[in-house]
Structure 1
Amino acid sequence: MHSEILYSCFGLSRQALKAYKRDDSGPYANPYPGTNVEARNRLEYRTFISHHQFLIGSGFAPLCKRFEKSIASHFNAFRSGISGDWVHGEDFMHVFKHTLLAPALIDSVVGPALLERDPDFLANFWTIDDNVWSLTSRLPKFLIPKPHVALNKCLAAVKEWHAWAKEHSDPTATTVDSGEDDAYWGSKFVRERQVLFSTIDGQNQDTIASQDLGFLWGSNHNTVTSAFWLFADVFLRPELLQRIRKEAGSCQIESPERGLPKFDMERLQRQPYAQAVYAETLRLRTHGVILRQPSQDLQLNEWSIPKGSPVVTSSTTAHMNAAVWSAPQRGSRPATEFYPERFFLPKSESAEPEFSMSGTDGSWVPFGGGVHACPGRRFVKYETILTLAILVTVFDIEILASRKDLEMSERRFGFGVLEPRGRVPFRIRARASV
C-alpha cells in the first residue's frame, strides 16, 4: 500500500513499483515461509529497519537535537516582527506549514540545503498535499495539472539537492554517527538511503528522489496538522491554556540567546495536561484508513480473510466508540467533544490529575497498530508538545476564526488528521513575562 502512494502521488516509476510488488517476504528479519526474495531486494524489511533506527532507535536523539535547533531558529525569525502590540495574521495553519513547523521538520531530516536551494519548494509541496485524493484516484493529468506541475518541480528540487550533496560531501565521513549535523545530507539516515536504494533492483536516482519526497510528506502531512490542533484546542480555552502554561513553566530550564525558552523534554512530556491534550487531540482529529494485507489466511469471528486480501478499516470507528470514550469513568462526555480530562484516572478533589492510557488498547489508534504502526509516533509527541510549549510561553494569541471555519474538513478523510474547514485568522503579541 505504501508503494501505491509513492507511485500515485510521488512519481515512483512502474519499474520501481514492480520491485515492491515482487517483495512478498514481509517486514521481519526472517522472511515469510515460501518466499524467495534476495536479501538485497527485501524492500519492505530494509526500509522498515531504516525508518525504525532513525525514528525510534539510535537516530531519535540526534533527530530531536536537530529539530530543537531548527525550530528555535524558525521561531526566532518569526517572533522578530512581533512586539507587545497585537499583530494580525490571515491564517495560522499557513504559519505552521510555511513559517514554523514544516520547514523545521524538513530541516531536521534533510538539513537546510533543500529549502535554501529552492525557495518555492514548500509552496509546491503543500500543493501536492492538498491534492492527495485526486492524485491517488489517478485522474488523467490534464484534469488535474496543478499537482502534477508541483510534483515535477519538487522532484526536480530533490534530485538537484541530491546531486549537489553527492558532489560536495565525503562519502566516508562519519560525523553524523555521533549525532552531529551533516552539512549536505542533513542526517545519517538520508545519506544512507542513497546506498540502500542503489543496491535494490529497479531503483535509480529518480526513484530515490520519489522515496525521499514521499518520506518528507509522511513526516509532515499529519504531524503539522496535529500540532496545529494542539495549538488551537489549547488557545481557544483560557483555563486549559493556563494549565498548559503552568506545566511548561515548571519544565523550563535556562533560556538560550535571545530569550527563547528551553525545556526539560523528558519532564515536559510526562506532564498530565500536556499528555491528555495530545492524546485527546489525536483521538478527535485523526480519521485515517488503515490498510493491511495478511500474509496468511485469517479467521475473525465469522469472517474468513484469505491470504493477500486487502483489509480496510478506519480509525474513526475506534475513536468515536461511545462505549469506551463516553463511559462514566471517562467523564460521560460525548465522544465528539474535546475533553482531555477523559484520559485522567478518577481522583479525589485534592489529588493531582494522573494521565493514563489504561483501557484504550484498540480504541486509540492514530498511528495504526502492530508491526506497521507509524514509526514516527515517538517523535510526533516530542515535536508537537515542544512546539505547543514554546507557543504558550512566548506568545499571547487570539484565534479569530468562525466556528464553522474551525470545524474539521472531511475533504481528505481517510488520510489521517483532518484540517480545519477554512482559514484561521488570528492576532498575536509577545508575552510581557518572557
Structure 2
Amino acid sequence: MPAFSYGLKMMFEDLPIRIRLFVMDNIVISKPEDIVHTFKQSAILTNKPYRKFVSNTFGVPEESKILFSADVTGLRHKPQADSGLKQEYRVDYLMHTFITQFMSGPSLGPLADRFTSNLIDRLEGEAISSEWKEYPDLYTFVRDHMFHASVFAMFGEHLFKMSENFCAEFWQFEESVPELAKGLPPWLNCRAIAARERCLTTVEGWRFYLNERACGTRSRSRVYDPLFGSEIVQKRHEAFAKMPTMSPRAIACEDLGLIWASTANAAHAAFWLTYQILRHDDVHPRLRVVTEQAEKGRPVGSSLMRYDLAKLCRSPLLQSLYAETLRLHVSNIILRSPLENFDIRNWRISPGEIIAMMSYPLHHDSKVYNTGTSDDPRPLDDFWADRFLVPRVATDHPGASAKSWPATPASSTESSHEFSLKGLEGSWIPYGGGSNICPGRQFAKQEVLLNAALLLGNYDVELTGSPVGMDWRFFGTGSMGVKGKSPFRIRKRHL
C-alpha cells in the first residue's frame, strides 16, 4: 500500500483520481495546493465517511447508525444543512465541540497534570533502581503505562475496577482495528469482534455502575471526579442521555472510540519517538540538555523529576523530533464528503462522493521536505531529528529567510535554530486539517513529549535487540503499529 499510494502520486502527477480503497469508492487528491483548498472549504464538507469508520470499528448498533447517518450538519455551531435535526441530536458537532473545549485551552493544563502524575506513579511502581533491569519489549512498556495514565486522567479510576485485565483487553482489540475498520463480514472477523466485545462489556458495565451512583450524587467535581472522570466524559454522558436512540451499547461504543482516539495513536507515536531517540546516539545527549533546562523539581515523596511542559513544547529540537516522528510513522487516509458541488481546479466532485487524502506520499515528497545536502544527504525514508529545524534569521541580514540555509546536525542547536513548518502547508498533515482537524492533537503531543522526557530524563535506557519495523496493517488508520519486539534495559539515573 505505501508504494502503491506513492506510485499513484507520481504516475498521475498530482491529478485527482478515482479509485476503490477498501470498501469505498474515493476520489484521491495528492497535490498540496488542492489539499489546502479542500481544508479551507470545510464549511461544505462533512465527516460522514469517518462516521462509517467509527461504526465499523467500534460496533455501533444499527438503530444508532440511523441517528449518525441523519447528521449532515457539520461541525460548526450553525448547521451546514437543513436536516431538521435538533441541536441536542447533532452527535458529531457535540462530540467534536467537547473535545475541542476540554482537551485544549485552559482545560488542557489540569488534564496534562493528571496524566503526568499518573505516569510518574506508574514508572515508580516499576521499582527501577541504579542497577540495570531487563525488559522484553519497549513498545509494550510505553503503551501500557501511557494507557493507564491517560485513561485514569480522562475516565477516572473505576473503569479498571470493572476489569483488572482491561488494559490487555484493549490492546487485543486495538490490534484488530485495521481489520474492523474495513467493514468485512463478521464471519471473517470473529477474533476481532470477540476482542471488541470484551472491551464493550467492561465499558458498558462501568456506565451502568455510574448511572446507579449518579442518582445519589449531588456535589461531584465538574473538572474531574475519580468516579465520573473528567469534564469531557461527564459532558458527553449528559449529551448522550438526551438522545433517544443512544442505547447503553451505543454509548459504550462511543466511549470505547474516545478511549482509542485518546490513547492508541499517542502510545504508538510515543514509542516511535522514544525508539528513534535511543537509536540515534547523536540525539540522546541533545535531548538530555533540553530536559535538564525544563526541570521543575521532584514532587514530595517522589524520586522522579518533573518537567515544565511549556518549555518542552517550545523546544525547537523536541518539536522537530515530534514532527519527524509523525511524518515518518503516521499514515492517515483523511476522508471528506461534500454537501454540494465541490470544485478542485477543473474537476467537479458531486455531493455525497468521497474525497480521500493520503498522508504517506505527501510525507515522502522530496520536492517540499528538507533532505539535507549533497555532502550530508538525509533521505525521507530515514529518521532525521533536524529535518524541521532552520537557522534563525540573523538580525544583521534583514532580507534573509528562515529557509535560506539547510539545517545540519552539527550546527542545529537550541539557540541557533528554530522549528518551522513553513512551506509544508498541505504536505505535513498527520492530524488532517480545516475545521475537521483532530481536536485532541494538543493533548496527544503533550502525552508523547512528557513520556519521552520522564522516561529518558529520569532513566538510562538502552535498546538490546534487533531493530523493529512498522506494521503496515495500520496504513491509513493513524500512527503505525510496531512489528517485532524491542528488548531494552533500564536503570535509574543519578540526577
More helix by share: 1
Q: Secondary structure at the match of 1:367?
A: coil
Q: What is the correspondence of 1:336-347 to structure 2 with a 5 Å cutoff?
A: 336-346=381-391
Structure 1 residue corresponding to 2:188, chosen from 127, 139, 143 = 143
Aligned position for 2:31: none
Q: Is residue 74 of structure 2 the alignment partner of residue 10 of structure 1?
A: no
Q: Secondary structure at the match of 2:229?
A: coil
Aligned position for 1:312: 356
Which blocks of at least 5 consecutive residues in structure 2 are unaligned?
Answer: 1-48, 395-410
Q: 1-side partners of 2:486 and 2:385: how far apart?
A: 22
Q: Secondary structure at the match of 2:491?
A: strand
Shift of 1:297: 1.2
Shift of 1:204: 1.8
Q: Secondary structure at the match of 2:204?
A: helix
Q: Secondary structure at the match of 2:317?
A: helix
Q: What is the correspondence of 1:350-429 to structure 2 with a 5 Å cutoff?
A: 352-403=416-467, 406-429=468-491
Shift of 1:327: 5.4
Aligned position for 1:120: 165
Which blocks of at least 5 consecutive residues in structure 1 are unaligned?
Answer: none
Q: What is the correspondence of 1:14-413 to structure 2 with a 5 Å cutoff?
A: 14-78=62-126, 80=127, 82-98=128-144, 100-169=145-214, 173=218, 175-177=220-222, 179=223, 181-256=224-299, 257-326=301-370, 333-346=378-391, 352-403=416-467, 406-413=468-475
Closer, same or farther: CA 336–19 of 1 in aligned 2, 3 Å: same
User: What amino acid does structure 2 have at the position aligned with 1:45?
Assistant: Y
Q: 2-side partners of 1:150 and 1:65: how far apart?
A: 32
Is the Cα contact below 8 Å between 2:331 and 2:360 reproduced in 1? Answer: yes
Aligned length: 426
Shift of 1:306: 0.8
Closer, same or farther: CA 30–420 of 1 in aligned 2, 3 Å: same
Percent of counterpart pairs with the same letter? 29
More strand by share: 2
User: What amino acid does structure 1 have at the position aligned with 2:117?
Assistant: K
Q: Secondary structure at the match of 1:112?
A: coil
Considering only aligned residues, what root-mean-square deviation do their CA atoms show, in Å?
2.1
User: What amino acid does structure 1 have at the position aligned with 2:202?
Assistant: A
Q: 2-side partners of 1:236 and 1:352: how far apart?
A: 24
Shift of 1:115: 1.4
Please list the CA deviations of residues 19-42 of structure 1 after superposition, one character each: whole Å capped at 9, or x if unmatched.
010111111111124432222222
Please list the CA deviations of residues 113-157 of structure 1 after superposition, one character each: whole Å capped at 9, or x if unmatched.
111331111122111111112222333434332222221221111
Q: Secondary structure at the match of 1:354?
A: strand
Q: State TM-score, norm by structure 1.
A: 0.93
Closer, same or farther: CA 142–35 of 1 in aligned 2, 3 Å: closer
Q: 2-side partners of 1:171 and 1:57: how far apart?
A: 32
User: What amino acid does structure 1 have at the position aligned with 2:192?
Assistant: P
Is the Cα contact below 8 Å between 1:325 and 1:333 reproduced in 2? Answer: no
Q: State TM-score, norm by structure 2.
A: 0.82
Is the Cα contact below 8 Å between 2:173 and 2:199 reproduced in 1? Answer: no
**Whose RCO is larger (CA < 8 A, sep 6+)?**
2
